[in-house]
Structure 1
Amino acid sequence: MYLQNASINVTHFIIGGFDTVIRPEAIGVVMLIIYILVVLANTVNILFIIFDKRLHKPMYLLVCNLAVVDIIYTSSTSPTMIGVLLAGVNTISYVECIIQMFLGATMELFSLTIMAFDRLIAIIYPLQYHSYLTNTRIMVLTYILWIVGSGFVAVLPATVTPLPHCSLRLKYTFCDYAAVIRTTCVDPEKYFNLGAILSFFVLFFTFIFICLSYCVILFFVKLSSNNDRKKMGSTLVSHLICVICLYCPMFVIGILTRFGVVLTLEERQGLIIGIILGPTLVNPLVYCLRTKEIKNKIVKIFRKVNTVG
């Protein structure tokens, strides 16, 4: 029974998602190491692209944008979870919680979508690519996606803010929308449905666009020479790895659970943590190791270090 008159004044929330964890310190150390690697790898990518004028091209601007999104996304939640596991700080202020909810994975989806669009244009119109997609146009398109993505994400905290709360305890490991809704005094079902609809809309249209881009790219790959095939195939594999790491767990949590798939609390939280840390670690490693210019730059740096040593 949901009673609005039983509401309490909320200034902070208690994070209870790790209460059943047997060895929190071990998990915290692993998450801390991964988080440091995520920030370090993405920062390296950003610095390489900023300070090397040869990399001031549309594709690398999008890689830089993805790195910025990765850092913001993982930094919005990872420190909170690490603090709970290693320091026992299991409270978060109401304002911080709302901000954390706002910094969701939508921009990750949009960033991968625009990167698919970039590769599609590069392969279909290789000669006209630099006239179609200039640095200025890519920057404008990126800004537009940030505005649109922020608008989508803002819907969720906006629906939570006016609601009365009957509990301070979050069921999950950070300020997930579902966790905060469960602390309110209202029937959560319609709000869960709202979250599922928004998730489905963003996931479906970005995923369909990426899949259609892949289909067109594969068609052009078949018509290309062997050398061009290897180059196009490498581009496709790089992007595909990043897409799979992000979309698979998101589809399970955001869509399949609304159609009867039942997850335990531990399974759900494991997938959520995987969505946060997995793609943000894989993305910079993939683009460092599979992007020729960035990889060559890393090799040169290591050679200089070895020479000096």
Structure 2
Amino acid sequence: MNEENHTTVTEFFLVGLSHYPGLLLSLYVLCLVMYLVILLGNSILIIISILDPRLHTPMYFFLGNLSFLDICYTSSSIPQMLIIVMSERKSISFTGCALQMVISLGLGCTECILLAVMAYDRYVAICNPLRYTIIMNKGLCAQMAAWTWITGFLVSLVQTVLALLKPFCGNVIDHLTCEILALLKLLCGDISLNVFIMTVASIVILIIPLTLIFFSYIFILSTILRINSSEGRKKAFSTCSAHLTVVVLFYGSALFIYMKPKSKDTKTSDELIGLSYGVITPMMNPIIYSLRNKEVKNAVEKFLIKNLYLKKI
């Protein structure tokens, strides 16, 4: 596209899956139900990690961060998406689109780094158990969490600003939300700088954390296999299996979206994978941790029984 043909954009039209009008009502109901499950499940995890003294450990501190992040991440896009899906105009203001993109991208980047931090926490807990409380002290945990959020939003801000400063040759986004890959297809002129920055960001946010997680679990698995007690091996593995399941779900979707060859047209499969990345994974996180972690399961049961009992009284 030539820069001379650029358009002054005041709003964007989100037309993702609009060529399947029969799916829109089903999509609305499905996303609404999943969003409510996300809010309920992650809120319960945050509450029990605060109220239950047994969960006042670095592992559950980071899990609380993950749950809060998932609530914010889905809240930045799903409510607006639900409005647009059922709207005839399907428009969002330029400012609204920019805010949605910087927040959702920032939270997605933050989650990538946070999962690597959680893997490091599991590595220290299993491979250096005697020094765990010394290494993973409150000060270090707070610093790691803070820098995780700061780094994620700095990466998002750079990519978003570079994209929005370019002239646009259209304002129709073939996606359900203001997603940066879909927005880049509307830019006029040369976008090689944007592609380069996105490639660097993908390496920093996706590849490096995933590599750290991979090597962490190599050491973790090696240590677990050296444990003589079968009960000890089972307990050690149970503390890692939930996190590893979340990593596979999250990074699988993220790598498919951001690391595969880019095409000009958005495929339906890309939109559905994006929905999985942005909705299904945050919904599954509290379910996975509740089912795979005995301490979380017991704390959730205690919380629910206590509240149900008090309501009956």
Q: TM-score, normalised by structure 1?
A: 0.92
Aligned equivalent of 2:288, options 270, 286, 289: 286
Equivalent residues in 2 for 1:186-225, closer than 5 Å: 186-188=189-191, 191-224=194-227, 225=229
Equivalent residues in 2 for 1:14-53, closer than 5 Å: 14-21=13-20, 22-53=22-53
Moved more, 15-24 or 267-276: 15-24
Match of 2:6 in 1: 7
SS at match of 1:257: coil
Checking the alignment, whether the CA contact within 8 Å between 2:110 and 2:151 is kept in structure 1 is: no
Aligned equivalent of 2:154, options 151, 155, 166: 151
Match of 1:245 in 2: 249
Q: In structure 1, how many angstroms separate the alpha carbons of the residues matched to 2:142 and 2:195?
A: 34
Change over 3 Å in CA distance of 1:164–1:213 after alignment to 2: same
Q: Percent of counterpart pairs with the same letter?
A: 27
Match of 1:75 in 2: 75
Question: What is the CA-CA distance between 1:208 and the residue it aligns to?
Answer: 0.5
Q: In structure 1, how many angstroms separate the alpha carbons of the residues matched to 2:88 and 2:77?
A: 15
Q: In structure 2, how many angstroms separate the alpha carbons of the residues matched to 1:298 and 1:254?
A: 35
String of CA shifts for 1:155-189, please: whole Å, max 9, x gaps: 21121121112211111111111221222222446
Q: In structure 2, how many angstroms separate the alpha carbons of the residues matched to 1:233 and 1:63?
A: 17
Q: TM-score, normalised by structure 2?
A: 0.91
Match of 1:277 in 2: 279
Equivalent residues in 2 for 1:27-176, closer than 5 Å: 27-88=27-88, 90-103=90-103, 104=105, 105-176=108-179
SS at match of 1:240: helix
Question: What is the CA-CA distance between 1:55 and the residue it aligns to?
Answer: 2.1
Aligned equivalent of 2:298, options 281, 296, 299: 296
Q: In structure 2, how many angstroms separate the alpha carbons of the residues matched to 1:235 and 1:51?
A: 20
Moved more, 2-11 or 243-252: 2-11
Checking the alignment, whether the CA contact within 8 Å between 2:52 and 2:299 is kept in structure 1 is: no
Q: How many residues align?
A: 306
SS at match of 1:17: coil
Q: In structure 2, how many angstroms separate the alpha carbons of the residues matched to 1:163 and 1:197?
A: 19
Moved more, 197-206 or 60-69: 197-206
Match of 1:229 in 2: 233
Checking the alignment, whether the CA contact within 8 Å between 1:16 and 1:171 is kept in structure 2 is: yes
Checking the alignment, whether the CA contact within 8 Å between 1:28 and 1:85 is kept in structure 2 is: yes
RMSD of aligned Cα (Å)? 2.1
String of CA shifts for 1:88-134, please: whole Å, max 9, x gaps: 46111111211222122111111111000000000011121111111
SS at match of 1:63: helix
Q: In structure 1, how many angstroms separate the alpha carbons of the residues matched to 2:232 and 2:89?
A: 53
Q: In structure 1, how many angstroms separate the alpha carbons of the residues matched to 2:276 and 2:298?
A: 30
One-letter amino acid of the counterpart of residue 4, structure 1? E
SS at match of 1:14: strand
Question: What is the CA-CA distance between 1:264 and the residue it aligns to?
Answer: 5.9
Question: What is the CA-CA distance between 1:197 and the residue it aligns to?
Answer: 3.5
SS at match of 1:13: strand
